[in-house]
Amino acid sequence: MAKYFDVHPENPQQRIIGQVAEMIRAGGLVSYPTDSCFALGCQIGNRDGLERIRSIRQLDDRHHFTLMCQDFAQLGHFVRIDNAAFRAIKATTPGSYTFILPATKEAPRRLLHPKKKTVGVRIPDHVVAQALLAELGEPLLSSTLLLPDEDKPLTQGWEIKERLDHVVDAVIDSGECGTEPTTVVDFSQGEPEVVRRGAGDPARFD
């Protein structure tokens, strides 16, 4: 049964954030709010967590998972960024964008796109997500909480708790989340290509 944490949206309780971080370090899978919509997240090295996300969302091995990063320094540890991409990404982070970039050796192989050797990264503009990332001290392996055969992500913490009670370990609720996933921009070929239009303004990369 999933633990339910009601967190203040502007001043998240440090004690609760610490509890959730400990659950993640112990191999837990959590649902947490971001600046676009709710996400599923676990520790980077958590193979079981990765497979649980795949199972919940019914994803194949071509799906780009996202490394949710606290800041640019953390992001740069896992992806290679040339000068042009650096400027464009820096200007739009934190924000509701996911960037697909060539992975460094530090990025676990099982997270990479099997052919392109790329990984998705992002820096959320959300107080609770940032507090959790700061407490963890490392990125969260994440995926949008969009269930199979449904058009829109779940937006209410209580509903996530109700529907995913036996497949996630914790739900963090800080109020209603958005319904629009991030805008995804692929920089893996040098020039930016908008591959999904979402919450972030895609006009910056068109």
**Would you state the pLDDT for residue 5?**
98
- Pairing verdict, β 30-32 and 3-6: unpaired
- Concatenating the DSSP letter of every residue in 79-147 gives B---HHHHHHHHTT-SSSEEEEEEB-TTS-GGGS-TTT-EEEEE----HHHHHHHHHHTSPEEEEE---
pLDDT attached to residue 81: 94
Residue 65 phi/psi, 5-degree rounding, is: -75, 160
Q: How is residue 202 annotated by DSSP? A: G
Output the pLDDT for position 64.
78
C-alpha span between 26 and 49 (Å, rounded):
11
| Pairing of the two strands 183-186 and 39-43 | unpaired
Q: Is-cis flag, bond preceding 148, omega within 30?
A: no
Spatial contact of 87 and 66, defined as CB atoms under 8 Å apart: no
Q: What is the pLDDT along the chain (206 residues), one digit of tens a residue?
A: 999 999 999 999 999 999 999 999 999 999 999 999 999 999 999 999 999 999 999 998 778 789 999 999 999 999 999 998 999 999 999 999 999 999 999 998 888 888 889 999 999 999 999 999 999 999 999 999 999 989 888 889 999 999 999 999 999 999 988 889 999 999 999 899 999 999 999 999 98
Q: Which helix (H) or strand (E) holds 194?
A: strand 193-196
Task: Look up tokens 């959320």; give the residue.
Answer: 124
pLDDT at 59: 92
Q: What residues are paired with 120 via a beta bridge?
A: 66, 100
Specify the CATH architecture of the domain 3-204: Alpha-Beta Complex (3.90)
In the chain, the amino acid numbered 111 is: L
